[in-house]
Amino acid sequence: MEALQRQEEQRDQSKLVNDLRNKFVNFPIGRMLLTLIKEAPAESRPQLTIQLFGKAGHGKSELVNSCLCVARDEPYKNKCGATDCTGAVTRKREMYTLTRNIRICDNRGLKCMTSREFYEMEQQLKGKRDDLSKDVNFETSFFGRLFAVNTVKEKPGNVYVPVIVYKCDSHYAEDQVPELVPLIKIIINVSGKKPIIVLTCSEGNNTALFKQAFNDSGCHDILTVENYTERNPKRTHDQDAAILTFLLHCLEFVQNEVAKPKRM
Ligand X SMILES: Nc1nc2c(ncn2[C@@H]2O[C@H](COP(=O)(O)OP(=O)(O)OP(=O)(O)O)[C@@H](O)[C@H]2O)c(=O)[nH]1
Chain residues in the site for Mg ion (CB under 5 A): 60-61, 89-90
120 contact, one of ligand X, Mg ion, none, CB 5-8 Å limit per kind: none
Q: For 181, left (φ over 0), alpha (ψ -120 to 50), or beta?
A: alpha
CB of 136 to ligand X, least distance (A): 10
- Closest Cα partner for 219 from 185, 244, 190, 251? 185
- In the bound state with ligand X, the residue whose beta carbon lies nearer, of 21 and 108, is 108
181 contact, one of Mg ion, ligand X, none, CB 5-8 Å limit per kind: none
Q: Is 184 exposed, middle or buried (0-12, 13-18, 19+ CB in 10 A)?
A: buried
Applying CB under 6 A, does 206 fall inside the site for ligand X? no
Q: What part of residues 56-85 is at the interface with ligand X (CB under 6 A)?
A: 56-62, 82-84
- In the bound state with ligand X, the residue whose beta carbon lies nearer, of 47 and 61, is 61
Q: Total residues contacting ligand X (rule CB under 6 A)?
A: 19
Q: Please give the C-alpha separations between residue 28 and each of 23, 47, 50, 241, in angstroms, as whole numbers.
A: 9, 12, 16, 20
CB of 12 to ligand X, least distance (A): 25
- Give the integer Cα–Cα distance in Å for 216 and 219: 7
- Give the integer Cα–Cα distance in Å for 207 and 169: 8
Q: Are 36 and 160 in contact (CB under 8 A)?
A: no
- In the bound state with Mg ion, the residue whose beta carbon lies nearer, of 29 and 183, is 183
Q: Please give the C-alpha separations between residue 189 and each of 183, 198, 228, in angstroms, as whole numbers.
A: 10, 20, 33
- In the bound state with Mg ion, the residue whose beta carbon lies nearer, of 60 and 211, is 60
Q: What part of residues 126-185 is at the interface with ligand X (CB under 6 A)?
A: none
User: Could you tell me which residues come within 8 angstroms of residue 62 by beta carbon, excluding any fewer than 6 positions away?
Assistant: 80, 82, 200, 227, 228, 229
84 contact, one of ligand X, Mg ion, none, CB 5-8 Å limit per kind: ligand X
* Cβ neighbours around 111 below 10 Å, total: 14
- In the bound state with ligand X, the residue whose beta carbon lies nearer, of 84 and 175, is 84
- In the bound state with ligand X, the residue whose beta carbon lies nearer, of 29 and 243, is 243
Q: Please give the C-alpha separations between residue 72 and each of 47, 151, 163, 215, 251, in angstroms, as whole numbers.
A: 18, 35, 21, 32, 17
The residue whose Cβ lies closest to ligand X is 109
- Give the integer Cα–Cα distance in Å for 213 and 222: 11
CB of 72 to ligand X, least distance (A): 18
254 contact, one of Mg ion, ligand X, none, CB 5-8 Å limit per kind: none
- In the bound state with Mg ion, the residue whose beta carbon lies nearer, of 81 and 178, is 81
Q: Are 127 and 158 in contact (CB under 8 A)?
A: yes
Q: What part of residues 19-58 is at the interface with ligand X (CB under 6 A)?
A: 56-58
57 contact, one of Mg ion, ligand X, none, CB 5-8 Å limit per kind: ligand X
Applying CB under 6 A, which residues contact ligand X? 56-62, 82-84, 88-90, 109, 200-201, 226-227, 229
